[in-house]
Amino acid sequence: MPAEHVVERAYVWDRFVRLHHWNLAALVLLNAFIFDGGGPWHRWAGYAALGLVGTRLVWGAIGSRHARFSGFFPTPARIRAYLARPGVAMRGHNPLGAAMVFAMLGFVIALGVTGWLMGTDAYWGEEWLEQLHETFSDVLLACVALHVAGVTWVSRKTRINLPRAMLTGYKKDTGHAFRAVRASGDDAGRLTASMRQGQRPADAGRNAAEARRTKAMSAPSATCAQSRGSPGPSAARHDGRYVKGRQRKSAAVFLRKNRTPQFSY
Ligand code: HEM
Ligand code: HEM
């Protein structure tokens, strides 16, 4: 059954978040692997990272929708909800990723503070402080490794390229594609509609098949005419801005290739 395939993009990461992210990542990696510990480059890069985190804390209070901490603070309830559907596509940070974000920001602050203390008269030459600084750095790098692993896993599972979104600001929003298919009246739409009502994907698939059988018995031509005829109301509506690609595909192929669940807000 042919269906319109409309992929939209959602603007998620504002320019500040993106610039902040890649600059912070560069500074942390430079300090950990390139600049000599304690040298002037190291100190200034460390303070720059600290300053960046400071600006991010302000932006977390006043920034755009998905930059604000209130929107993604990992509360126990949010974490529980996410663990019930791990890897579900989300517009902003998922709660586990968000926990890691706060940990990484915290460790950069801790590195800045311990680095600064090392240079003060009171703590000059203190072995334990140097050790603590290096331990913070090691733990931060472990967090970064987990962070990149998590980003890779979610990107594969949702089929949304998250690193690219952090470069361009846009996340592919296949949720709109599902809505487009639903508007054209075929199975894919029913499947997502029932998933959205909280059914497990397997049940939703069975129910969609059931609905198709019932519909085929009662009014087969209505379904076909609706989906084969005009592109459908949503395809027209999505014409123009943010429409990335549109192809004709059977609903089955569409479902297999676009298993991305709805965005959760
Ligand atoms: C992103 C922030 C930072 C990271 C990832 C980081 C990482 C590290 C690492 C891995 C070392 C050990 C290097 C080695 O043994 O060769 C080190 C040493 C050192 N860092 Fe940092 N650092 C950061 C920020 C700072 C800041 C802001 C300062 C001070 C202004 C600072 C001052 C020092 C000093 C003085 C040492 C030498 C300690 C010693 O003699 O063992 N660091 N840092
Ligand atoms: C030292 C290295 C890194 C640090 C300290 C770091 C830190 C962060 C922080 C603080 C955020 C939250 C952004 C915000 O809300 O402002 C974030 C998000 C993100 N980072 Fe990194 N990052 C690092 C490396 C990387 C790398 C190498 C990649 C690429 C694979 C990456 C991909 C991402 C993505 C895709 C997000 C958004 C995740 C989402 O969609 O929820 N990061 N990172």
51-71: pLDDT as tens digits: 999 999 999 999 999 999 999
Domain closes at, from 117, 142, 171 = 171
By residue range, what is the domain housing residue 106?
Answer: 12-171
According to DSSP, the β-strands at 8-11 and 170-173 are antiparallel
Higher local confidence (pLDDT), 76 or 184: 76
Q: How many helices (H) and strands (E) does the chain have?
A: 13, 4
Q: Provide the number of structural domains found in the chain.
A: 2
Report how far ligand 2's centroid is from the alpha carbon of 147 (Å).
7
Does the global pTM surpass 0.95?
no
Report how far ligand 2's centroid is from the alpha carbon of 24 (Å).
9
**Of 40, 46, 8, residue with least CA distance to 27:** 46
Ligand 2 pocket, mutate which of 11, 15, 21, 159 (most atoms under 8 A from CB):
21
Residue 85, pLDDT score? 83
pLDDT over 70 for what percent of the chain? 63
CATH of the domain at 40: 1.20.950.20
CA dist list (Å): 20 to 36, 43, 50, 51, 91: 23, 19, 11, 10, 19
- How open is the CA angle 247-232-201, to the nearest 5 degrees? 70
Please indicate, yes or no, whether residues 111 and 193 belong to a single structural domain of this protein.
no
**Of 101, 133, 112, residue with least CA distance to 51:** 112
Rounded to a whole number of angstroms, the CA Rg of the chain reads 24
Please indicate, yes or no, whether residues 53 and 177 belong to a single structural domain of this protein.
no
pLDDT at 159 over 80: yes
As a whole number of angstroms, the distance between CA 117 and CA 160 comes to 42
Give the mean pLDDT of 90-110: 96
Please indicate, yes or no, whether residues 92 and 201 belong to a single structural domain of this protein.
no
H or E element, residue 89: none
Please indicate, yes or no, whether residues 236 and 159 belong to a single structural domain of this protein.
no
Residue 208, pLDDT score? 52
178-192: pLDDT as tens digits: 344 444 343 434 444
Q: Which of 56-65, 114-123, 247-256 is predicted with the least confidence, judged by mean pLDDT?
A: 247-256
Confidence at 228, pLDDT banded by 50, 70, 90: very low
As a whole number of angstroms, the distance between CA 44 and CA 54 comes to 15
Residue 69, pLDDT score? 97
Give the mean pLDDT of 152-181: 81
> Buried (b) or exposed (e) across 34-44, using 16+ Cβ within 10 A?
ebeeeeeebbe
Report how far ligand 2's centroid is from the alpha carbon of 166 (Å).
8
Confidence at 246, pLDDT banded by 50, 70, 90: very low
Please indicate, yes or no, whether residues 83 and 190 belong to a single structural domain of this protein.
no
HSE, CB side, 13 Å, CA atoms: give it for residue 31.
29
Domain closes at, from 171, 202, 236 = 171
- Asked whether the beta carbons of 112 and 49 are under 8 A apart, the reply is yes
